[in-house]
Amino acid sequence: MTDLIAVPTNRREAITRLAAELRPGMTVALSTHVNADGDGCGSQAAFARLLGQIGVRAIVVNPTPWPEMFRWLLADDVEERSAEGAAVLATVDRLVVLDISDVKRLGGLASTVRGLPQEALVIDHHLPGEEPPGTILVSDTSACATGELVFDLAQVLGLTITTPIAQALYTALVTDTGGFRFGNTSPRCLMVAAALLQAGVNPEQMYARIYGSVPLGRVKLLRDALETLETDLAHGIAWVSIADGLLEAHGATSEDLDGIVEHPRSIAGVRLALLFRELPTGQVKISFRSMAGVNVHALAAQFGGGGHARASGALVGGSLIDVRERVLTAARRGLETGALADGRT
Ligand code: AMP
């Protein structure tokens, strides 16, 4: 069997180039996308601690607040100052952007990042976006999660995967693979997960922290979301809609939406599942998910979004009804013509 845990040469070279930009004594900011998920947060919490091992101070600055469900990842040794926003970026030596391939995903930080004197360093596993946040990249779409690339960075630089770092990276892997079920669950992903268990991760404890201690409002949100379920089984499409104000009504936050779209996707015969979330800004956030054979990246890209072949997102201006109609029309057309078939991006 090939040595799956060895870092592929292309990644090793990219990591060496990126690491050459980081020197002891520096202070760097770490930013991930709006509404950070388990991969964004886990990669940041792990990378911040790894940087500490090479004498670099890391400050996490995200465009939206650190999710409560992942607060434990920060413990008391990761500095998180998202509340201060772009002001922090002006005080650091360098910015590292994680889990983002398009600068737009930095939301309210994007314009500041575009104007930084030095280009951001990027660690990411998404398909290329329209406007990459930087040019010194560790980017590989074959990585199951950005956390896999942070694991590789630790290996290449000879750093120690302590138990808190292993827990953060495991969180990244387990959430981005839907609990090691999605198509990105590669043999290497499972080898890295095994190495993280060896480094002290207790999978049952991780399950309890990530999936077994959600607020009641999250389950009520799921109940109400499923109430909106609609289907077009002739095309193999199913979707749910979240009206503006529903999250607030349940004391829920964006992170509580994570996973809801898996329910429409789970229906027999469904190839394409969508979640439409109406925002108070007059925009609609869309989550696209697909089954094997359907490339939702191609559909999300038509609406200015991106992500992966089976999981993408987009932010579109307009009312919930209008945006939903436009997207469904494009989805039906794409499925009928074969434009969303794998390999036809
Ligand atoms: P989500 O539906 O928000 O869980 O996102 C699914 C995937 O698409 C994730 O990998 C996101 O990073 C990516 N994504 C979400 N929204 C956008 C967007 N507006 N532009 C580009 N990529 C996105």
Q: Which of 39, 253, 261, 312 to mutate to test the pocket of ligand 1 (most atoms within 8 A of CB)?
A: 312
Q: Which of 41, 103, 105, 240 to mutate to test the pocket of ligand 1 (most atoms within 8 A of CB)?
A: 105
Q: 82-138: per-residue pLDDT in tens?
A: 999 999 999 999 999 999 999 999 999 999 999 999 999 999 999 999 999 998 999
The chain-wide mean pLDDT, for the chain, equals: 97
Cβ–ligand 1 distance for 308 under 6 Å, the answer yes
Q: Which domain holds residue 59?
A: 2-210
Task: Specify whether 141 is located in the same domain as 23.
Answer: yes
Query: Has residue 345 been placed in a domain?
Result: no
Task: Specify whether 22 is located in the same domain as 114.
Answer: yes
Cβ–ligand 1 distance for 133 under 6 Å, the answer no
Task: Specify whether 289 is located in the same domain as 168.
Answer: no
Looking at residue 272, its pLDDT comes to 98
Task: Specify whether 168 is located in the same domain as 287.
Answer: no
Task: Specify whether 201 is located in the same domain as 164.
Answer: yes
Cβ–ligand 1 distance for 175 under 6 Å, the answer no
Q: Which atom of ligand 1 is nearest to the CA of 304?
A: 20
Which residue has the CA at smallest separation from atom 2 of ligand 1? Answer: 287
Task: Specify whether 298 is located in the same domain as 281.
Answer: yes
Number of independent structural domains in the chain: 2
Task: Specify whether 203 is located in the same domain as 250.
Answer: no
Query: Has residue 252 been placed in a domain?
Result: yes
Cβ–ligand 1 distance for 64 under 6 Å, the answer no
Looking at residue 2, its pLDDT comes to 72
Query: Has residue 261 been placed in a domain?
Result: yes
Task: Specify whether 79 is located in the same domain as 117.
Answer: yes
pTM, full prediction: 0.94
Cβ–ligand 1 distance for 284 under 6 Å, the answer no
Nearest of 170, 157, 232 to residue 204 by alpha carbon: 170
Q: 240-254: per-residue pLDDT in tens?
A: 999 999 999 999 999
Cα-based distances in Å from 14 to 21, 28, 138, 175: 11, 19, 5, 25
Q: What percent of the chain has pLDDT over 90?
A: 98
Task: Specify whether 138 is located in the same domain as 274.
Answer: no
Nearest of 12, 73, 314 to residue 30 by alpha carbon: 73
Cβ–ligand 1 distance for 102 under 6 Å, the answer yes
Looking at residue 345, its pLDDT comes to 45
Which residue has the CA at smallest separation from atom 16 of ligand 1? Answer: 313
Q: What are the phi and psi torsion angles at 47 (to 5°)?
A: -65, -40
CATH number at residue 81: 3.90.1640.10
Which residue has the CA at smallest separation from atom 12 of ligand 1? Answer: 307
Q: What is the token pair recorded at 271? A: 């190839």
Q: Where among 183, 210, 237 does a domain terminate? A: 210
Angle between helix axes 163-176 and 38-53 (nearest 10 degrees) is: 150
Q: Where among 187, 210, 233 does a domain terminate? A: 210
Task: Specify whether 77 is located in the same domain as 154.
Answer: yes
CATH number at residue 233: 3.10.310.30
Query: Has residue 151 been placed in a domain?
Result: yes
Q: Which atom of ligand 1 is nearest to the CA of 261?
A: 2
Which residues are CB-contacts of 84 (< 8 A; sequence separation ≥ 6)? 61
Q: Where among 179, 210, 241 does a domain terminate? A: 210
Query: Has residue 344 been placed in a domain?
Result: no
CB-side neighbour CA atoms (13 Å) of 8: 11
DSSP symbols for 235-246: TTEEEEEE-TTH
Looking at residue 343, its pLDDT comes to 72
CA 285 to centroid of ligand 1, rounded, Å: 9
Looking at residue 344, its pLDDT comes to 54
Which of the residues in the chain have pLDDT under 70?
A: 1, 344-345
Task: Specify whether 237 is located in the same domain as 206.
Answer: no
Radius of gyration of the chain (CA): 20
Task: Specify whether 204 is located in the same domain as 221.
Answer: no
Cβ–ligand 1 distance for 305 under 6 Å, the answer yes
